[in-house]
Amino acid sequence: MTATATVVEELRTALGAARVRDAGAELSLYRRDAGHMAGVAAVVCFPVTTAEVAACVRITASAGLPFVARGSGTGLAGGAVPPDGAVVISLTKMNRIRSVDPTARRAWVEPGVLNLDLSRAVAVHDLHFAPDPSSQQTCTIGGNVANNSGGPHCLAEGVTASHIVALEVVLPDGAVTVLGGEDPEPAGYDLRGAFVGSEGMCGIATAICVRLTQNPPVVRTMLLDFDDVESGASTVSDIIAAGIVPAAMEMMDRLCLQAVEAYIHAGLPVDAATALLIEVVGLRAAVDGATEAIVAIAERRGVGGVRIAADEAERALLWKGRKSAFGAIARIKPNYYLHDTVVPRRELPGVLAQVYDIAARFELEVLNVFHAGDGNLHPLLLFDEREPGVMERVLAAGDAIVSASVAAGGVLSGEHGIGLEKRDLMPLMFSAVDLDAQSALRRAFDPDERANPGKVLPSPARCADVQSIPAGAWV
Partner 1 sequence: MDLSGFADEVGASGEVTITGAATRGGPVAGVRVVRPPTGIDWLRGDEMTVCCGAGTLVADLDEALAAVGQCVAIPPSGTVGGALAVGRSGLRRLGYGPIRDILLQARYVSAAGEVVKAGGPTVKNVSGFDLCRLLVGSYGTLGFLGEVILRTRPRARFEQWFVTTADPIETFRRLYRPTSVLWDGTTTWVLLEGHPDDVASSAAACALGEADGPPDLPTGGRWSISPSDVPAMRGTFVAEVGVGVVHHADPQPAVEASAAVVELNRRIKHNFDPTGRLNPGVDVLARP
Task: Give, as ranges, the residues between 173 and 232 that touch partner 1 (CB under 8 A).
Answer: 175-179, 181-191, 193-194, 196-198, 214, 216-217
CB of 217 closer than 8 Å to CB of 282: yes
Number of residues that bind partner 1 (CB under 8 A): 89
Nearest distance in Å: CB 24, partner 1: 34
User: Should residue 407 be labelled a site residue for partner 1 when binding is judged by CB under 8 A?
Assistant: no
Taking alpha carbons only, the member of 152, 151, 181, 147 closest to residue 166 is 181
Taking alpha carbons only, the member of 415, 371, 133, 366 closest to residue 233 is 371
Candidates 16-24, 27-35, 81-89, 242-250: pick the segment binding partner 1 (CB under 8 A). 242-250
Nearer to partner 1, 184 or 388 (CB): 184
- Among 135, 413, 452, 467, which residue interacts with partner 1 (rule: CB under 8 A)? 413
Q: Which of residues 259-318 bind partner 1 (CB under 8 A)?
A: 282-286, 289
Nearest distance in Å: CB 345, partner 1: 6
121 Rama class: left (phi>0) / alpha (psi -120 to 50) / beta: alpha
Beta partners for 207? 168
Candidates 33-41, 172-180, 294-302, 392-400: pick the segment binding partner 1 (CB under 8 A). 172-180
User: Should residue 447 be labelled a site residue for partner 1 when binding is judged by CB under 8 A?
Assistant: yes
Candidates 107-115, 131-139, 237-245, 311-319: pick the segment binding partner 1 (CB under 8 A). 237-245
Nearer to partner 1, 95 or 213 (CB): 213
Nearest distance in Å: CB 456, partner 1: 6
Q: Kindly report the CA angle at 353 between 475 and 259, in degrees rounded to 5?
A: 75
User: Should residue 459 be labelled a site residue for partner 1 when binding is judged by CB under 8 A?
Assistant: no
Nearest distance in Å: CB 474, partner 1: 19
- Among 70, 416, 450, 462, which residue interacts with partner 1 (rule: CB under 8 A)? 416
Nearer to partner 1, 58 or 346 (CB): 346
Q: Which of residues 69-98 bind partner 1 (CB under 8 A)?
A: none
User: Should residue 158 be labelled a site residue for partner 1 when binding is judged by CB under 8 A?
Assistant: yes
User: Should residue 139 be labelled a site residue for partner 1 when binding is judged by CB under 8 A?
Assistant: no
User: Should residue 422 be labelled a site residue for partner 1 when binding is judged by CB under 8 A?
Assistant: yes
265 Rama class: left (phi>0) / alpha (psi -120 to 50) / beta: left
Nearest distance in Å: CB 31, partner 1: 24
Nearer to partner 1, 171 or 268 (CB): 171
Candidates 11-19, 80-88, 316-324, 412-420: pick the segment binding partner 1 (CB under 8 A). 412-420
Nearest distance in Å: CB 464, partner 1: 15
Whether the CA torsion 262, 267, 269, 275 is positive or negative: it is negative
Taking alpha carbons only, the member of 35, 40, 33, 135 closest to residue 395 is 35
User: Should residue 159 be labelled a site residue for partner 1 when binding is judged by CB under 8 A?
Assistant: yes
If DSSP states are collapsed to H, E and C, what string results for 378-439?
Answer: CEEEEECCCCCCHHHHHHHHHHHHHHHHHHCCCECCCCCCCCCCCHHHHHHCCCHHHHHHHH
Q: Which of residues 15-54 bind partner 1 (CB under 8 A)?
A: none
Nearer to partner 1, 332 or 404 (CB): 404
Q: Which residues touch 65 (CB under 8 Å, ≥6 apart)?
A: 3, 4, 7, 42, 85, 86, 87, 450
- Among 98, 409, 460, 463, which residue interacts with partner 1 (rule: CB under 8 A)? 409
Strand-strand pairing, 86-90 and 97-101:
unpaired
Nearer to partner 1, 69 or 196 (CB): 196
User: Should residue 58 be labelled a site residue for partner 1 when binding is judged by CB under 8 A?
Assistant: no
Nearer to partner 1, 149 or 324 (CB): 149
* Alpha-carbon gap, residue 218 to 200, rounded angstroms: 38
CB of 142 closer than 8 Å to CB of 209: no
Neighbours of 266 (CB within 10 A): 19
Question: Phi then psi for 348, rounded to 5 degrees?
Answer: -55, -50
Nearer to partner 1, 29 or 437 (CB): 437
Instruction: Please classify residue 145 by burial: count the beta carbons closer than 10 Å to its beta carbon, then call 0-12 exposed, 13-18 middle and 19+ buried.
Output: buried
Neighbours of 299 (CB within 10 A): 12
Beta partners for 276? 224, 251
Q: Which of residues 343-372 bind partner 1 (CB under 8 A)?
A: 343-346, 371
385 Rama class: left (phi>0) / alpha (psi -120 to 50) / beta: alpha
Q: How many CA atoms lie within 13 A of 38 on its CB side?
A: 8
Nearer to partner 1, 152 or 269 (CB): 152
Nearest distance in Å: CB 207, partner 1: 15
